[in-house]
Amino acid sequence: MNLFNLKDASQQVSFVEAVKIGLGREQGVFFPQTLAPLSQVSALLDLPFAERSAKILSHLIGDELSKDVLSDMVARAFNFPAPLVNVAKNTYCLELFHGPTLAFKDFGGRFMAECVSLFSEGERVTILTATSGDTGAAVAHAFYKKPNVDVVILYPEGKISLAQQKLFTTLGENIHCYAVDGSFDDCQTLVKEAFLDEELKQKLGLNSANSINISRLLAQVCYYFEAVAQLPEDKRNSVHVSVPSGNFGNVCAAMIAAVIGLPIHRLSATTNQNDTVPRYLVDNTWSPNATKESLSNAMDVSKPNNWPRVEQMLRETMFSKHDFFSRSVSEQETKQAMHTLHEMGYLAEPHTAIAYKGMVEDELANASSIFLATAHPAKFKDSVDDVLGTDIELPKALSDALAKPCLAEPLKADYAELKAAVYARLAVQ
């Protein structure tokens, strides 16, 4: 797989290089040179999830990884299901929260960990990532106790749920966490600054686990095929997928799936009140506002890193602009959608409810509509119970994590402080 930097097309890299360096020059993200269509999509849809996913990834990545190696990596990474639940007539929910940290980030995080372990060949690697809530846990669990790998996680102090936070800040060992006095965008800015620091990059063997890392995106392409594979055959002709969007990585993966041949006829990328993209699509000006805190905190992103990739596919008409929708959902509408789903017998946390709302608003007549459940409701127990008056039970993974002490250190949103803290923690000379 050959990729180029969307900010500087002269920078061209292989898949292995793109995984290792994460972000390109001028903070540009990498994008595949070509996205060739798959042959025989319907035969692929008949295969079991892991087997099909290995074939899709092999098609995308090409001969940099042998088919056998890739099959083993996928079998280890995707060792939990992604069930499609029929919620109402022609309405389906793709549940992506059955992995170890109860959010869809497990798919990308675990496949990325497989890639990084394979490519580093025993050299020291430091994974630096900013999390809006769920990436931190997925990446921390995926790399926990892996030899020669340190993980540094920055999260916005007090802006993510306690369950989200405790799933990674309680691990210790090679997982180093910093509670940043700022927003997710501030954390993301610190990560980008670190990538411009050649000295730090070299000394730490720096890699990023953000959704800017191409390995995470490609992994996510696979579960869209799994969703369509679970639809009855006569329901696959017209498919609408609705993705709750923050950094726009997940919807980017959905679009890549469509570009390589998955029948997705309409795509909705629904945001919370952090609406930079919906406003951009209306007036063509990119003007991020200050990040607002929402019930759907993993989507509290006002400078989505993956938007350039989505825009590239729209600009090059790989996916039609007319079939792409992006709207913003208010806090009030989020709560209403949680109630509506609850009355339909489906318990949803706020991110999932936003996907449902976007699906209803952009509905395509007679289509099969799929909205994504990106997190387990218990991961947002406080807001779910508060909005719905429930008292939902915690899965064991969560109650165990909540019982342990938080090992994160406080950090100002200041690059010099981050560098000093990380050098001290990792004993860098």
Residues lying near ligand PLP in the complex (CB under 6 A): 103, 105, 132-134, 211, 244-250, 298-299, 351, 374-375
Q: Which is closer to ligand PLP, CB of 248 or CB of 324?
A: 248
Q: Which is closer to ligand PLP, CB of 126 or CB of 297?
A: 297
The residues near 395 (Cβ < 8 Å, ≥ 6 apart) are 102, 376, 378
Q: Shortest Cβ distance from residue 375 to ligand PLP (Å)?
A: 4
Positive or negative torsion for Cα 190, 193, 195, 198: negative
Q: Shortest Cβ distance from residue 217 to ligand PLP (Å)?
A: 9
CA dist 396 and 331 (Å) reads 29
CB 185 within 8 A of CB 156: no
Q: Which is closer to ligand PLP, CB of 126 or CB of 294?
A: 294
Q: Which is closer to ligand PLP, CB of 61 or CB of 167?
A: 167
Q: Which is closer to ligand PLP, CB of 117 or CB of 383?
A: 383
Helices (H), 78-183: 105-120, 135-143, 162-169
CA dist 39 and 35 (Å) reads 12
CA dist 273 and 193 (Å) reads 27
- CA proximity to 246, closest of 221, 222, 278, 216: 278
Residue with tokens 């083993």: 72
Q: Shortest Cβ distance from residue 211 to ligand PLP (Å)?
A: 5
Q: Which is closer to ligand PLP, CB of 240 or CB of 351?
A: 351
Q: Which letter does DSSP use for residue 337 in this model? A: H
Q: Shortest Cβ distance from residue 220 to ligand PLP (Å)?
A: 8
CB 271 within 8 A of CB 302: no
Q: Which is closer to ligand PLP, CB of 58 or CB of 211?
A: 211
The secondary element (H helix, E strand) that includes residue 173 is none
Q: Which is closer to ligand PLP, CB of 227 or CB of 422?
A: 227
Q: Shortest Cβ distance from residue 354 to ligand PLP (Å)?
A: 8
Which residues on neighbouring strands pair with residue 5, listed in sequence order? 30
The residues near 141 (Cβ < 8 Å, ≥ 6 apart) are 100, 101, 106, 109, 167, 168, 171
Q: Shortest Cβ distance from residue 51 to ligand PLP (Å)?
A: 25
Q: How far is CA 266 from CA 73, 248, 254, 413, in A?
A: 31, 16, 10, 39
Q: Shortest Cβ distance from residue 249 to ligand PLP (Å)?
A: 3
Q: Shortest Cβ distance from residue 96 to ligand PLP (Å)?
A: 9
Q: Shortest Cβ distance from residue 13 to ligand PLP (Å)?
A: 22
How are the residues of the chain apportioned to helix, strand and coil, as percentages rounded to the nearest 5?
50, 15, 35
Q: Which is closer to ligand PLP, CB of 104 or CB of 178?
A: 104
